[in-house]
Amino acid sequence: MALKIFVDTDVVISSLISPSGAAFLLLNQTDGLELFISNISAREIKDVAKRLRLDTEKAKQLIEKRCSVVQLPEAIGKIKTSFEDYVLDRNDAHIVAGAERARAQFLISYNTRHFKADTLKGDLHIILTTPANFLQYLRSR
């Protein structure tokens, strides 16, 4: 059974910037994983890629090829209220909402300090980790 992984926006952007980093390896060279982002994350990825002058077509292809997109309500206010106990910044609540909607076992982010890891694990059974730590976990299995 494939592991379900929700990927934060920063991981996707990092994979577009560096073809040798852990994010790139995770998104491009790791099999046996179900990778997820949300519709809100997809829009965020497009906006950040454009702002950083990255190849937006490459970002779109990566998402289409490797990620399933879970649909969250566009009413972000309700998401912020429902998931604020899991984040330090309410603007990151949609990441947790997406992970929960995907029934992800792992949330992969470089911004681990933005989330309340113990609460995520205790309430939603989602393990928060970085791309490098997750790859290390996969190698140890």
Q: Tell me the DSSP string of 74-87.
A: S-HHHHHHHHGGGB
Nearest alpha carbon to residue 46 among 79, 9, 2: 9
Which segments of 18-92 does DSSP mark as H helices, in order? 22-28, 39-51, 56-66, 76-83
Query: Please, what are the domains in the chain?
Result: 3-135 (3.40.50.1010)
Whole-model pTM: value is 0.95
Helix (H, G, I), strand (E, B) or coil at 109: coil
With a pLDDT cut of 70, the percent of the chain lying above it is 100
For residue 74, pLDDT over 90 is answered with no
Give the confidence band of 18 by pLDDT, cuts at 50, 70, 90. Answer: very high
For residue 45, pLDDT over 90 is answered with yes
Task: Name residue 108's beta-bridge partners.
Answer: 7, 129
Nearest alpha carbon to residue 97 among 34, 8, 35: 8
For residue 75, pLDDT over 90 is answered with no
- Beta-carbon contacts of 141 under 8 Å, excluding residues fewer than 6 positions away, are none
Token digits of residue 77:
């206010």
For residue 52, pLDDT over 90 is answered with yes
Mean confidence (pLDDT) of the chain: 96
What was the pLDDT predicted at 1? 79
